[in-house]
Amino acid sequence: MNKNKINYIFKVALIGDSMVGKSSIIKVLNNDDDIMYTRTIGVDLHLYETIINNKTVQLQIYDTSGESCFDNIKKIYYNNMDMIIICYNVNDINTFINCKKYINEIKRNKQNMILIGCKIDTPINRIITYTDAKEYGALHNIEYMETSSYKKIGIKELFNHIIISLKNNIDMKLFNS
Ligand SMILES: Nc1nc2c(ncn2[C@@H]2O[C@H](COP(=O)(O)OP(=O)(O)OP(=O)(O)O)[C@@H](O)[C@H]2O)c(=O)[nH]1
Ligand SMILES: [Mg+2]
């Protein structure tokens, strides 16, 4: 990887209730196999670099705590992101209901967002179906994707998708300017 030249830098934040699996997504993205629970305190910053279409892209990923005692710290970051990833656990209805709160807040700040259903590896425990979540996202004009950190499903795809759509937005603006 060319360390000297970064062509694109994007800021991305993960938000959602505690224990939904936000930090585990970042661990899998960084090929770390230890996804035991370690409570996030406030906000952790991770850097991730990849090459897409011969361009080096750096993601600055802000992994936030789901605990409400850190809400004030987290809000500082919301205004300043290229993309906010709202995570819920497909096996826990409350974490899905709480997405409404996050969506409203992000809409108020006019930020880009994507909705992610986590922990799709235990179908027997699943409460929110793919179709329900997809329709819910469409209702709010938000794309929907799913992941499993345990089975390493959907994570590289999620970040590639985000990078390509942010990169296309920039390229389009440059082309039209
Ligand atoms: N079955 C299953 N469990 C998962 C998955 N991802 C994470 N977990 C487990 O869920 C728990 C919480 O994971 P974290 O990624 O630390 O959750 P978090 O959203 O970062 O939590 P906070 O930092 O408290 O906000 C841990 O015990 C993980 O091992 C997954 O894809 N499938
Ligand atoms: Mg965490």
Residues lining ligand 1, judged by CB closer than 6 Å? 18-24, 35-37, 39-40, 65-66, 118-119, 121-122, 148-150
Give the CATH number of the domain where residue 138 resides: 3.40.50.300
Q: What is the pTM of this model?
A: 0.95
Domain hosting 162: range is 3-176
How far from 78 is each of 35, 74, 106, CA to CA, in Å?
26, 7, 7
Judge contact between 176 and 170, C-beta under 8 A. no
Classify the C-alpha dihedral 90-77-32-166 as positive or negative.
positive
Question: Which of 126-135, 152-161, 164-173 is least confident?
Answer: 164-173
- In the predicted structure, residue 169 carries a pLDDT above the cut 60: yes
Ligand 1 centre from 157 Cα, in Å?
19
Task: Please identify, by atom number, the ligand 1 atom nearest to the C-alpha of residue 147.
Answer: 31
- In the predicted structure, residue 108 carries a pLDDT above the cut 60: yes
Q: What is the DSSP letter of 148?
A: B
For the chain, how many structural domains are there in total? 1
- Number of H helices and E strands in the chain, helices first, is 6, 6
Residue ID of nearest Cα to ligand 1 atom 22: 18
pLDDT in tens, 50-86: 998 889 999 999 999 999 888 888 777 777 899 999 9
Specify the pLDDT at position 71.
81
User: Residue 90: nearest ligand to its CA?
Assistant: 1
pLDDT in tens, 133-163: 999 999 999 999 999 999 999 999 999 999 9
